[in-house]
Amino acid sequence: FPAPKTGPFVPTKEDYQKVYTAIADILEDNDYDDGSYGPVLVRLAWHASGTYDKDTKTGGSNGATMRFSPESDHGANAGLKAARDRLEPIKAQFPWITYSDLWILAGVCAIQEMGGPTIPFRAGRQDRDVSACTPDGRLPDASKVQDHLRAIFGRMGFSDQEIVALTGAHALGRCHTDRSGYDGPWTFSPTMLTNDFFQLLLKEKWQWKKWNGPAQYEVCVFYLFSLIPPDLASPSSSSDSTSVVGYKSWEDNLAAWYMLLQTHNSTDDANTANTPSSSPPTQDAGSKKLMMLPADMSLVKDKNFRKHVELYAKDQDKFFEDFSKAVTKLFELGVPFKEGTETWTFKPSTEE
Ligand code: CCH
């Protein structure tokens, strides 16, 4: 008999699906932030990719050079050790996957598991050594505005529309005073990808936060709406494609509150004529402080950016479609895929 063929292990789509599933399993942790490592894993994949320079063809997700100092110590990467460490057991379980592919697959997985669109994935990134670390200053500075964003993302090869779509990722996660110095989440649902970032940018009255920290915007938003059953939801927002967890404007909150009051009173009339009319459940209402960075706010101040913000605020499906395309491009910047590399999509764990 001929000896059985043994060669190097060539992982298949099924092998990567196993890694995806293992990552999906470690996203949740009640002791961490808002209960999920999803947002910080998305940030890791983005910071690994966003160092790309199209002219010198340096940086990008091929290399995972953020494992090494000086890149790991760059100010923009503060806090990403939490994400890298979270993935170590996965790397130990699947030693054949490169860190570069693992970090990007974790970003893909986190986006999908947090209710985002499907992000196609191609494998083949190779890890590189410390000599491939990029210089500091390649990632955006949150205190700067439109010209800076165009310069930074233009260097990677992105258009205005792509910049706006990508920044919609700020529906996820939060700022940490011990990382960037900024403070707070952008939306009510930091572990769900929605178009709420764009809606909030447009609809709220943002003020400078009064504090000793770096200049950022804040707003205090009243939310009764999220506690109202969806069938009582305001008609003004039922026609758009905002998810149930999605942000509702102050007007929508008020409309929902009014409808709840009406329903309460008519139920009282019909069924409990002799009992005093009960008051609406105001004890369930709340308010929460949300934030925006100066860089975020420039997306509505600049008219060429703003038209894309308006579109994505109205149409979550369009946001998801464009976000998926822009993120796929981001995650593949500077990766020398072998010819014929297949594109795979992985099913979210809820659909398995
Ligand atoms: Fe971002 N981001 N980001 N961001 N970001 C921060 C956090 C997240 C900027 C600045 C910051 C993108 C673009 C920009 C995420 C995804 C993306 C923080 C807080 C700052 C500051 C960090 C902290 O304190 O923990 C700026 C400026 C830009 C310019 O456009 C893009 C693009 C993406 C992804 C596609 C995610 C997710 C977070 C939350 C991380 C967490 O730990 O919750």
Express each pLDDT in 190-212 by its tens digit: 999 999 999 999 999 999 999 99
Express each pLDDT in 107-122 by its tens digit: 999 999 999 999 999 9
Q: Measure 13 CA to ligand 1 centroid, in angstroms.
A: 30
CA-163 nearest atom, ligand 1:
30
Bridge partners (DSSP) listed for residue 289:
220
Express each pLDDT in 299-321 by its tens digit: 999 999 999 999 999 999 999 99
Q: Provide the pLDDT for residue 276.
A: 40
Higher pLDDT, 248 or 31: 31
Q: Provide the pLDDT for residue 182.
A: 98
In terms of Cα–Cα distance, which of 206, 142, 148, 196 is closest to 168? 196
Q: Provide the pLDDT for residue 238.
A: 40
Find the catalytic residue in 47, 74, 170, 308.
Answer: 47
- 257 given a catalytic annotation: no
Read off the pLDDT band of 229 (50, 70, 90).
low
Mean pLDDT of 323-344: 97
> Which H, E and C letters describe 67-88, residue by residue?
HCCCHHHCHHHCCCHHHHHHHH
- 186 given a catalytic annotation: yes
> What domains does the chain contain, in order, with CATH numbers?
13-170+294-346 (1.10.520.10)
Q: Are 173 and 190 spatial neighbours (Cβ–Cβ below 8 Å)?
A: yes
**CB of 293 sitting under 6 A from ligand 1:** yes
Read off the pLDDT band of 224 (50, 70, 90).
low
152 φ, ψ (degrees, to nearest 5): -70, -50
ipTM for the complex shown: 0.99
d(C-alpha 46, C-alpha 61), whole Å: 8
Express each pLDDT in 74-127 by its tens digit: 999 999 999 999 999 999 999 999 999 999 999 999 999 999 999 999 999 999
Q: Measure 93 CA to ligand 1 centroid, in angstroms.
A: 29
Please give the structure tokens belonging to residue 14. 């099924």
Predicted TM-score of the model (pTM): 0.89
Higher pLDDT, 131 or 352: 131
Q: Are 290 and 218 spatial neighbours (Cβ–Cβ below 8 Å)?
A: yes
Mean pLDDT of 172-176: 97
